[in-house]
A = this chain, B = another copy of it.
Amino acid sequence: MKSYRKELWVNVPSRRGFVNITREVERCLAESGITEGLALVNAMHITASVFINDNESGLHADYEAWLEALAPFDASPQRYAHNRTGEDNADAHMKRQIMGREVVVAVTDGKLDFGPWEQIFYGEFDGRRRKRVLVKIIGE
């Protein structure tokens, strides 16, 4: 069994945003030399997500509005107990649970084994600083 590990760095200049990291993960896979196995891609931070969906800016705007309605940003200590600790990002911990921490992708014939529209995104919910995504690939 071979294994490969790499950290990708992301810096979203606003509080929230989505970044397509498919090409970076493909480069990792090429570098790994693994042709059959599983690739794990996960946010290393707990106010961010890695998820697979469509590369369409309208949909991303819809996600932004939808997540804000389900778990509104509110820095005040009234709404969220977490924000009584000096943090202001309780909402980000919730948004991340809806969008998910990680994806596991099949590796077949040296490629990410995707359906026609699958792309990997980093979802930032508390940005404006450098954060990491972990790519771990195991196989042969």
Q: What count of chain A residues pass the 8 Å CB interface test?
A: 59
Query: Are B59 and A93 in contact, with the CB atoms below 8 A?
Result: yes
- Known pairs A80-B62, A100-B100; A46 contacts B85 (CB<8 A): no
B interface footprint on A65-78 (CB within 8 Å = 1, 0 otherwise): 01000110000000
A12 to chain B, nearest CB (A): 16
Binding site for B on A (CB under 8 A): 1, 3, 5, 36-38, 40, 42-46, 51-54, 56-59, 61-63, 66, 70-71, 80-85, 90, 93-94, 96-106, 108, 113-118, 132, 134, 136, 138-140
A-B contact sample (19 more), CB < 8 A, given A36-B138, A38-B136: A1-B37, A1-B140, A3-B37, A46-B115, A46-B117, A53-B97, A56-B85, A58-B81, A61-B81, A62-B93, A63-B93, A63-B94, A97-B98, A98-B98, A101-B103, A102-B104, A108-B136, A113-B136, A138-B138
